[in-house]
Amino acid sequence: MPKISEEQRQARRDQILAAAWRCFARNGIHATSMEEIIREAELSAGAVYLYYKGKDELILAAIETYMGDLRGLLLPLLMREKPLPPAAFAREITAAISSHTQRGGLDLNVIILMCWSEAQSNPTVKKLVSGFQLKYREALTHIVRIWQKEGHLSKKGKPDEVGKVLLSFFLGFIVQSALLGRMEPETAAQGIAGLIGVATTRRTSA
C-alpha cells in the first residue's frame, strides 16, 4: 500500500472538516449525524473514522481548526508594536474576520454561534473557546493602553474595562453578521469613530 504524505493527510482532514461545516450550517451541530458528514465528504466511513473517532471529536476539531486559523490572521494585527488608530483598527480586524468567515458559499458566523452554544454544555469546548477569547482580551487591553498614551482614547477609562468592551464589539460583529446579515468593515470603522467621537476618512473601493 502506498504511503500517504502528511500533506495528503491534512488535505483529507480539511475535506472532512469542510463537509462537517456544511452539514452543521444546514442542520445544526446536534441534528447532524456522522452518516450525513460521511456522505457530504464523499468518503467511506472507514476513511472518516480513521481521522475522527466520532462526532464529538469532529466538533472539537472543527472549532479548534476554525479558531486556530482565525488566530493566525488576527495575531499579527493585534501584536503590532504600533497598532492602528481605533477606527482603522476596527476596519482591519473586522475585514480579517469577514474574510475568514465567508468561504465556499458558507457563512461560518452562523457556525460560530453554534460553537459558542456548545461551549455552555461541553466543558472541553468551553475551555477551548474561552482560552482564545482571553488571549484576545489581553491583547486588546494592551492596545487600549497604547491608544490612551497616544491620545486616541481618553485616559479616564480603565484599560482592562475598555478592553473587555472592545472584545464585546468584535464578538457582536460576528453575532450581527450571523443573525442580521453581513456588516461591512467600513460600518464597523465608522461606528467606532462615532462612539469615541473622532473623525475618520471613509474608504472607497478602487
Same fold, 1-53 and 67-196: no
Whether residue 183 is predicted with pLDDT greater than 70 in this model: the reply is yes
CA distance 7 to 9: 5
Predicted local distance difference test score (pLDDT) of residue 130: 93
pLDDT (average), residues 59-67:
86
Residue 103, classed as helix, strand or coil, is strand
116 vs 142, more confident: 142
Whether residue 11 is predicted with pLDDT greater than 80 in this model: the reply is yes
Predicted local distance difference test score (pLDDT) of residue 200: 55
Whether residue 3 is predicted with pLDDT greater than 80 in this model: the reply is no
> Over the stretch 124-153, which tens digit does the pLDDT of each residue have?
989 999 999 999 999 999 999 999 999 999
Q: What percent of the chain has pLDDT over 90?
A: 54
Predicted local distance difference test score (pLDDT) of residue 201: 54
Mean pLDDT for the chain overall: 88
Domain 67-196 sits in which CATH superfamily? Tetracycline Repressor, domain 2 (1.10.357.10)
Tell me how far CA of residue 3 lies from CA of 47, 53, 142, in angstroms. Answer: 15, 22, 47
How many C-beta atoms lie closer than 10 Å to residue 194's C-beta?
12
Q: Which residues pair with 107 in a beta bridge?
A: 102
Taking the model in full, what pTM does it have?
Answer: 0.83
- The residue type at 7: E
Predicted local distance difference test score (pLDDT) of residue 69: 87
Whether residue 205 is predicted with pLDDT greater than 70 in this model: the reply is no
Supply the DSSP symbol for 129: H
pLDDT (average), residues 89-104:
89
> Over the stretch 153-180, which tens digit does the pLDDT of each residue have?
999 999 999 999 999 999 999 999 989 9
Judge whether 149 and 70 are in contact, CB under 8 Å. no
Whether residue 54 is predicted with pLDDT greater than 60 in this model: the reply is yes
**Look-up: residue for cell 500500500?**
1
CATH 1.10.10.10 fits 1-53, yes or no: no
Predicted local distance difference test score (pLDDT) of residue 29: 87
Tell me the chain's radius of gyration from C-alpha atoms. 19
Long-range CB contacts (within 8 A, 24+) of 148-152 = 152/85, 152/86, 152/196, 152/198
Q: What percent of the chain has pLDDT over 70?
A: 94
Cell numbers given for 102: 465567508
Domain ranges, ordered by start, for the chain: 1-53, 67-196
